[in-house]
Structure 1
Amino acid sequence: MPLVEVDDLSVSFKQYTKGFKHKEVKVIHNLSFSINAGEIVAVVGSSGSGKSLLAHAILGILPRNANVSGTIHYDGKELTPSLQEKLRGKELAFVPQSVNFLNPLMEVEKQVRGALKGKDSFKTQKEIFEKYNLSTDVEKLYPFQLSGGMARRILVSTAVINKAKFIIADEPTPGLDQTVVKEALSSFKAFADNGTAVMFITHDIQSALSVADKIAVFYAGTTVEVAPVEDFTGSGERLRHPYSKALWRALPQNEFRPIPGSQPKGDELPRGCLFAPRCDMTTTECLEHLPEKRVLRNGMVRCIHAT
């Protein structure tokens, strides 16, 4: 049984236009995702594809005006708002992409300890800082005084101090030098080796391939493919969805071939397959209905032409 299982999740927001007129903008729809204990699943896709919104939906930190349907289960139980609140910051941990998530007016040692209650919080915080090579001098610093590498390690510390069972890392590596990137990735690998499930949101497919077990490809608010990392090789011939193949071939280290067109906005979604307007395999059937997800070659895909 997956530790976290998302089934047909849809998220929309009411957007006002002229006067009191409004429209419903669906930013996530029919999205399915699952992850097992001890597994790293990398979530890739262009900006606006729903990666971070999925994370916020799992954690229960979507804006109040979000309309949500579908189900999310954690460890076999439906992840209700009350259960999300109970587990958030404990069993469910979040590593955000920006140091701006830290309180600029609080010393970093207090922010890390804040996630842990009890008399052992000082001892545990010091052990974690030592583990991540954060000296005692760092404890009294404020976020603006941290280097990029220090900030990343502080953010990871806030997530792991409660020994979380599920960690969401949202774009944890952009702007960092390669030494710090390797350090961050090795931390996530160590979490998984100890039984923690890690959802790694990233634009960097190459970094994802170095640590992940599976890659989930998002497009226009839904999952179009989930594939083992070993399928991302060569010219992408082992991949299932046309978008996954195009995304792989667009990388500079591969064919560096751009994808014509652009991802549709939430209020301009096509009726059928979301990738159909940009796909050279499109048929009449593709334009009529959103393809159902199906299991194919030890992966998942939403494409009627995938073989």
Structure 2
Amino acid sequence: MPILEVEDLSISFQQYTVGLKQKNHQVISSLNISLFAGEILAVVGASGSGKSLLAHAILGILPSNAIMSGTMKYAGEELTLKRQISLRGKEIALVPQSVNYLDPLMRVGKQVRTSVNDGDAVLAQRKVFERYHLKPDVENMYPFQLSGGMARRTLLSTAMVSGAKVIIADEPTPGLDPVVIDEALNNFREFADNGCAVMLITHDIESALKIADKIAVFYAGTTVEVAPVDNFTGDGELLRHPYSKALWRALPQNDFIPIPGSQPHPSSLPPGCLFAPRCEKATPKCGLAQPEMRKLRDGMVRCIHAT
């Protein structure tokens, strides 16, 4: 049974337009992912594809104008708002994308200690700071005194000392030097190998390939494919969805072939398959309805033409 399961998640935001008219912008539609204990699921996709919104939905920290439908379960039970609050920072921990999540009025050592749920908090904080090459005097600093890389390592430390069963890491490595990046990735892998679960949200497919078990590809607010990590090889011939293949081939280390067109804005989503306007395989049938996710070759795909 998955430790974390998201089924048919849709999120829209209610906004006011000219004349105080209300309009809903759907930014996530029919999104599905499953996360199992002992594995790392990497979530990749272009900016605006819904990766960070998924993390915020799981933790129950969406803004007040968000309208959400679908089902989220943790350890087999529905993830209600009350349950999200009780689990947040304890059994489910977030490494946020922005360093602004640090409290500007609290010394960073104390902030990390407040995330320790068991054992000696001071000892745990000092050990994790040493692991991430943060000098002893850093614990007495305020966030404004940290460099960008130091602030990111502090956020990583906060999640790592929590003892959580699930870590959601939202772009945890930008601004870090290669040594610290490798250290962080190895720690995520160690975390999973000890029976916990990691969702790694990233633009960096190469980093994901080093540690992930599966990769979920997002496009325009939905999951288009979930594939074993070893499918990302060669010309992408083992991948299932046209977007996944195009994304893989667009990387500089591969063919460096750009994908024509652009990801649609939430206010102007096409009917049917969201990738159809950019897809070489698209047929009139693709525009009738958004395909359902289906199992295919030890993975999942949302495409009627995938084989």
TM-score range with shorter-chain normalisation? over 0.9
Query: How far off is 1:119 after superposition?
Result: 7.8
TM-score normalised to structure 2 length: 0.96
Do 2:132 and 2:180's aligned partners in 1 also have CA atoms closer than 8 Å? Answer: no
Unaligned ranges ≥5, structure 1: none
Which residue in 1 is equivalent to 2:94? Answer: 94
What is the SS of the residue equivalent to 1:260?
Answer: coil
Whole-Å Cα distance in 1 between the matches of residues 117 and 186 of structure 2? Answer: 28
Which residue in 2 is equivalent to 1:85? Answer: 85
CA RMSD after TM alignment: 1.5
Corresponding position: 1:4 with 2:4 = yes
Which residue in 2 is equivalent to 1:181? Answer: 181
Q: 5 Å matches for 1:138-157? A: 138-157=138-157
Deviations 1:196-224 (A, max 9, x none): 21000001111110110011000000000
Query: How far off is 1:130 after superposition?
Result: 3.7
Q: Which amino acid aligns with 1:255?
A: D
TM-score normalised to structure 1 length: 0.96
Which residue in 2 is equivalent to 1:103? Answer: 103
Which residue in 2 is equivalent to 1:237? Answer: 237
Query: How far off is 1:194 after superposition?
Result: 1.3
Q: Which amino acid aligns with 2:28?
A: I
Please say which of residues 131-140 and 74-83 is displaced more in the overlay. Answer: 131-140
Deviations 1:274-302 (A, max 9, x none): 00000010111101010011000000000
Whole-Å Cα distance in 2 between the matches of residues 166 and 38 of structure 1? Answer: 10
What is the SS of the residue equivalent to 1:256?
Answer: coil
Which residue in 1 is equivalent to 2:55? Answer: 55
Do 2:132 and 2:183's aligned partners in 1 also have CA atoms closer than 8 Å? Answer: no
Which residue in 2 is equivalent to 1:225? Answer: 225
Deviations 1:120-176 (A, max 9, x none): 333332333344343322211122322444323211121122200000100111232
Identity %: 68
What is the SS of the residue equivalent to 1:19?
Answer: helix
Whole-Å Cα distance in 2 between the matches of residues 119 and 173 of structure 1? Answer: 28
Deviations 1:240-298 (A, max 9, x none): 00000000011111111011111111121111000000001011110101001100000
Do 1:149 and 1:180's aligned partners in 2 also have CA atoms closer than 8 Å? Answer: no
Corresponding position: 1:274 with 2:271 = no
Give the ranges of 4+ consecutive aligned residues of structure 1 lying more than 6 Å apart after TM superposition: none
Corresponding position: 1:13 with 2:13 = yes
Which residue in 1 is equivalent to 2:39? Answer: 39
State how many pairs are aligned: 307
Which residue in 2 is equivalent to 1:71? Answer: 71
Which residue in 2 is equivalent to 1:208? Answer: 208
